[in-house]
Amino acid sequence: MTVSPRANSPLITPTIWWFLLFSLVANASLSLLFSVLPLFASESTGSSLAAGLATGTMMLVTVLVELGTPRLMAALGYRRVMAAGVALLGFPSLLLIGIANMATILAVSAARGAGLAITVVAGTALAAQLFPVHRRAEGLGIYGVALSIPVIVLLPLGLWLAESYSFDLVFTIAAIAAIAGIAIVQMLPAIDPGKRPTHSIMAELADPGIARPAVIFALSTFGAGIVLTYLALAVPGETRYVAPAGLFVQAICTSVARWGAGRLGDRFGSQRLLAPSMLVAAIGMACIVATGSTIAVLVGMALFGLGLGGAQNASLAIMFERADNDRFAQVSVIWNLAYDAGLGIGAVGFGLLIGQTGYPWGFAIVAMILLASVVPAWLGRRHDVGAAPLIQSG
């Protein structure tokens, strides 16, 4: 094996350290409330559908705002846009203290959706520019790890704090995290995001090389929206601790898989990883069908997390490989649209489905949908036939 000298150059520079720290802090507000807000909505209204509406509203606004974020980036630059995004993720939660009605919950969810759209589109596009091309998949994997750390720690912690102490405490902590994000944003690199985009989102979606991995990835986040929103409601009451534990396990496995898929993708091609990732995610979802079994739920969440993380990194790397630098903002939008649309459709659709099927059959149907995605993911490998890996044998 002979390795290019560039492959041994430092990947994490001081500039990237600041970027990763901002990404970690900005994602703290999102992670703290992602499962807490649906639970708050359900308990405040007495309706399980309210949980899905909270998540669905957030994801719907996220999708709509993402479409305009490239133009916003071109007008204001990365720093101002990302400062606005992190503020919207954290500060609106303070409105929920003492105001527990559905209108306020949906308004806060909408504001957080706008903040999420801005931070993820700008952050993903900036990440693609900061990491060197020959190690971009691994760099995106590290970026994914930075985003995953708050999920690993704060998503289950948020549920625990809400159930053990109060929702108000979690809402306050989320706002404090937003303050920290605004302070750090000034240390982000002063990179020009470019002029107003010349390629439309619809033009990008007309390219099968971009659209196919995006749609396949959306199916994995379809499953993620379901487990993030409903796992705490699906497990029996006497084993409610299983939901925070399952989310913790899933977050760790997703983080590990994103980094691992990045390293493998730089060497062997990210396209080879998409189909196996979706297969593992489908098997994991099938395990969660046994909602009354602690072992089955934890194993299922671990497997689903591995599949989700692999699909996240592989799909994003594939899409950036197939686009020029001046299309990175649009590619970032499409990937994040797939992410967020999948989360929202999963949350709302599953809420309607379980009214007819119950949780076990609902999870079984989702597992079959994930399994069906393996075929197009496998056939999509043909797009990259003949692509040379960055590490050559010889």
In degrees and rounded to multiples of 5, residue 389 shows phi and psi of -70, 160
CA dist 224 and 24 (Å) reads: 20
CA dist 152 and 131 (Å) reads: 24
Cα–Cα distances in Å, from 392 out to 138, 156, 376?
17, 42, 28
- 110: number of Cβ within 10 Å: 20
- Dump the DSSP string for 257-316: HHHHHHHHHHHH-THHHHHHHHHHHHHHHHHTT-TT-HHHHHHHHHHHHHHHHHHHHHHH
Q: Helix axis angle, 208-234 relative to 48-90, nearest 10°?
A: 120
Q: Residue 6 in contact with residue 134, Cβ under 8 Å? A: yes
Report, in angstroms and rounded to the nearest whole number, the Rg of the chain calculated over CA atoms. 20
CA dist 122 and 65 (Å) reads: 12
The pLDDT score that the predictor gives to residue 307 is 95
- Could you read off the pLDDT tens digit of each residue along the chain, which spans 394 residues? 344 444 456 777 778 888 899 988 888 888 899 888 988 988 888 777 788 888 888 888 988 898 888 888 888 888 889 899 999 999 999 999 978 888 999 999 999 999 998 998 888 888 878 887 777 788 888 888 888 788 778 877 888 898 888 999 999 999 999 999 999 988 887 766 665 555 667 777 777 888 889 999 999 999 998 998 888 888 876 666 888 889 889 988 998 998 888 888 878 778 889 999 999 999 999 999 998 889 999 999 999 999 999 999 999 888 888 777 667 778 888 888 888 788 888 888 888 888 888 888 999 999 999 999 998 888 876 554 444 333 333 3
Q: Residue 148 in contact with residue 34, Cβ under 8 Å? A: no
Q: Which domains does the chain have, with CATH numbers?
A: 10-189+197-384 (1.20.1250.20)
The pLDDT score that the predictor gives to residue 2 is 40
Q: Helix axis angle, 48-90 relative to 36-45, nearest 10°?
A: 130
Amino acid at position 45, single letter: T
Give kind and range of the element (H or E) at residue 378: helix 374-379
Give kind and range of the element (H or E) at residue 354: helix 328-357
Q: Tell me, letter by letter, the H, E, C secondary structure of 43-56.
A: HHHCCHHHHHHHHH
The pLDDT score that the predictor gives to residue 194 is 60
Q: Which residues contact 144 (CB under 8 A, 6 or more apart)?
A: 255, 258, 259, 262, 309, 312, 313
The pLDDT score that the predictor gives to residue 387 is 41
Query: Encoding tokens for residue 252?
Result: 């760790």
pTM greater than the 0.75 cutoff: no
The pLDDT score that the predictor gives to residue 295 is 93
Q: Helix axis angle, 36-45 relative to 102-130, nearest 10°?
A: 170
Helix (H, G, I), strand (E, B) or coil at 240: coil
